[in-house]
Chain A
Amino acid sequence: QVTLKESGPVLVKPTETLTLTCTVSGFSLSNARMGVSWIRQPPGKALEWLAHIFSNDEKSYSTSLKSRLTISKDTSKSQVVLTMTNMDPVDTATYYCARTTMYRGYSYGIYYFDYWGQGTLVTVSS
């Protein structure tokens, strides 16, 4: 049974750095074609992809937030960590981690989020 669970602070102050941890079970972070993405959703707004990391340590970041984000993984702990610097009230959102399956073949490919955590609400306020 695949599960993902987000953990981290519920409240951060403006300009602080947010550190979120996604703990996974039911699969290994060393599995080929499997990785973890971070996705957020401000209250009442759309989902926004932030970053992903795969078993071969391939990483990618949202173009608009790239300068503020760092994603890493600890395979032995089954954890993926996202840090976001210089937090602002507009970063208030529910942050989700999601298992991401990717396969890039010659004539066929896959990239999607097949399992999601329950999400964690992070509020940015002084």
Chain B
Amino acid sequence: QTVVTQEPSFSVSPGGTVTLTCGLSSGSVSTSYYPSWYQQTPGQAPRTLIYSTNTRSSGVPDRFSGSILGNKAALTITGAQADDESDYYCVLYMGSALFGGGTKLTVL
């Protein structure tokens, strides 16, 4: 069974840059999987950040960017802020949708 992989946790300093990745247990992620990214804080519904690999959702600041890096989808946060401390999930579409396990980002 295909599994979408994400780093379980990551930390970044305020003002720093961090790149979270989204891979496949077997094979490479490409734009054909229409990667999307979501941010979730405790007790809240997820917020859409990026879709179709690199398109920012409405209202998302441009310090969030998406790309394909090597064989994975990637979410880069440039100039991290305290309120970026959240869980981040990627989704890949392959006829059905699959969430990654999420990355808990700490800003400290």
Contact = CB atoms under 8 A, between A and B. Distances in A.
Contacts, number: 70
A60 interface: yes
Interface stretch (A12-20, A24-32, A45-53, A73-81): A45-53
B52 A63 contact: no
Nearest to A108: B52
A49 B46 contact: no
For the complex, would chain A's binding face be called helix, strand, loop or mixed by DSSP majority? Answer: strand
Nearest to A107: B31
B10 interface: no
A112 B45 contact: no
Contacts of B1: 63-64
A61 B1 CA distance: 14
A96 interface: yes
B15 to A, nearest CB: 28
A118 interface: yes
Interface of B: 1, 31-32, 34, 36, 38, 40, 45-48, 51-52, 57, 89, 91, 93, 95-102
